[in-house]
Structure 1
């Protein structure tokens, strides 16, 4: 059986809003690969981790990392609690999406993710709305086609 993808709390919501934007080309390649795996294989196991995860692993080494920041850990803890999950749990991506649909409203993103630089784009709130309405997340836009 495949290993679970390790994700920290706030990345459970970030992935819902991922539309191909990120910190570097390498970061986007990694996030796109994880996003598309979860989109196409929703029974993929996710392990909730404390601290840097499989997305943080591709954070650019030449940029100031926020992965160990206090506010990031606080955001992780608040989101994990809101979803009724715990660090160390393994759940399928579809199960996590069910928890999001039950416990998070698009309007919660403004509070939960107030300090996030990506929050103002509105894509995470849109992702929460799509999941809450039972929809499917869109494919990541092809950058070459734009």
Structure 2
């Protein structure tokens, strides 16, 4: 009986992994794309860490999140927005990376749930146990923003 239950669970989980993402209206899709594009600048600011660039990019992503008119998506990104606002004032690199991780979780949730297009994917690094969203169309190689000593460490977790 346990084996049957285990097999059924595996099948259902597998089917869920391939569930279609919810479509977005064109205007909303554009608003979300602007957030994700701004997040690319924030992601890049961590590679040759510059606090000034991180603060500017965090402010831009926060501004783009505030421009989203959809209440459900705005609610899903509320914690991300709050963390971005913390980053605009912080000079602590470690704290900013932790905040970026929380922001990334919110954005990853959005791209897994909604069809925002095929260019953004979720990546993760098992060494630092963190994930991030990256524009795969721009660069499909792993670009780990958390560990400058191992920028290629990690893997692509989604393929949209």
Query: Which structure is higher in helix share?
Result: 2
Q: What is the TM-score with the length of structure 2 in the denominator? A: 0.34
TM normalised by structure 1 equals 0.36
Task: Point out the structure with max Rg over C-alpha.
Answer: 2
